Structure 1
């Protein structure tokens, strides 16, 4: 079955039958979307006495093998077991990244941070 058979059997020319199909092929689809930045979520163990609220901005800093979380000039927590890609992203920014508190644990001993 070729194009000639399709043209003979259909009442319309083949090009007109697929005209809207060609328009659909040129319109953007699901896989054409480009994301501007990747957001990473990590869980930080907070120090005793630190009071963080949702929406607070913190600094995430690599300090040797440890990754610490600072609010202003004081350390408020640490991140244990950080993944290699997040660590590489922080190291790529000079060892310092900005984070935002997304959630604080029920007892206030941990917080979820989004790192950009």
Structure 2
């Protein structure tokens, strides 16, 4: 599991470094995930080695929501003051995600 976590952190750091050098307005971890995806496409034998560690990390995924919950509690007044834009952003981003996912599934099923 430590090896898998190390590989994920390496790709996150690569993404962060790429974003820092290019000044792209994209989060570094997103670029890191894309780099990991390309790596796994090019080196197919790496994916089966990562599966056990990834499954273990996914079992504890709920722990990653604790900081977001704390942030909402700390900034509760701001959330209450800005609830309309937040609801609009959530609804729109959910709808866009559903449409993009449907288009990707349709495109990949061909």
Q: TM-score range by the shorter chain?
A: under 0.3
Structure with the bigger RCO (C-alpha within 8 Å, sep 6+) is: 1
Counting strand residues as a fraction of each chain, which structure ranks higher?
1
TM-score, normalised to structure 1's length?
0.20
Counting helix residues as a fraction of each chain, which structure ranks higher?
2
Considering only CA atoms, is the larger Rg found in Structure 1 or Structure 2? 1
